[in-house]
Structure 1
């Protein structure tokens, strides 16, 4: 990012560039997690923009994150989808990580849907299942709201007692039930990464109340809620982190597990969007 330009102006310049390229107002914003990009196949794509072409946008450095902003229609709704997200562990600060959420809000999105790949801390979870996130634990070393508050975006001290929209959770629960999908509900612990956790750290995370753990989502959700944007989030369980189930895991195994969970996750998100 160019440090001589204010953060507010960076947002507006990114928004202005996108609006020059795209003629419609998206209703739903979608952030796709590791190995979970196939939802794009269900979108009638009207326009694509590479991140590198958008002013002040970071560029995804993770192999499984393509790096494009997708505009199109799904279930009769106009959507903008991030095919590839940014992570704190890539070296970006939290304002850079969450810039796309600010931009999507300015573009007009009314709901944000977030997916991620996560380790299952709850011993009842199995690889390939999904978990609807109903709360989170922020263990990142930096908060995206740190610094001077931008009053035009949100209040200084946003309430986080219900970070995930209860109505969207209920609707997703009914969708999963109606399609015989095992969809757990629980808390997600956000950590900085990029290393996976030690056995002691997994134990600690479970003790403090986490059902899954991952390296994303929490910053985007904080920023969305700062702007009063309703959020739905869902995890794909890609590895097991409970006692007796922990083993060494590779990115290839994570991607393979995400591929198992992806159809059910995509179905829930698509049907949820249709109900908005």
Structure 2
């Protein structure tokens, strides 16, 4: 008669086999994890290497942006040496002890006539105008052509461009500034006051900042307005009359400009003469 199977040995064998499978599975999982880690690390290194070759570091990137900006600025301002030559030629006086004068708003009515008169006198004149569209730009372009015929170069730029203003003063030691540029129009201040803040106040401060740092400092003649007399009812107007009761935002901003001019004169000794223009008319 056959003896029954030894179930205890079978059970031990099964447990052993089960244990070995778990051990092998653990080893396989560990090996797979190591392999996956190595593959991931290798891919990461490849990606880092790729981006290092194709993209500059952040500082270099910022330098690249700055360099590109300078190149664009140089192109906008006329392309470098040729543009600077025009600026110098226009600003050079033709009479002994003549002035070198920067005329802002040179394409305007007053600016054009003043530029022509100064050039005829033998002074060096450089214009600056942003050719905005408040008045007909084609009229300003026609005046630009007229000034060009008289060897007066107009730089197309904005008073708020401090880089441009600094560049002009680096090129030319201006003796005088005739500051006529401004956002014009009394009624328009009610529609777009920010335009006046930008041009008539911020732009003016930019110009004064550059002028105060110049050596020697240029003398400045600035166009304010008779509108600063505001609600004054005394006639005829006098320099002694009050100008602290403006009747429009335009007048208020011109008055602010006068106070700014006084402050720069008081603190920095910047020589400034303020003119109060009444209604200007002509052909």
Q: Report the structure number with the largest CA radius of gyration.
A: 2
Return the TM-score normalized by structure 1: 0.33
- The structure with the greater share of residues assigned to helix is 2
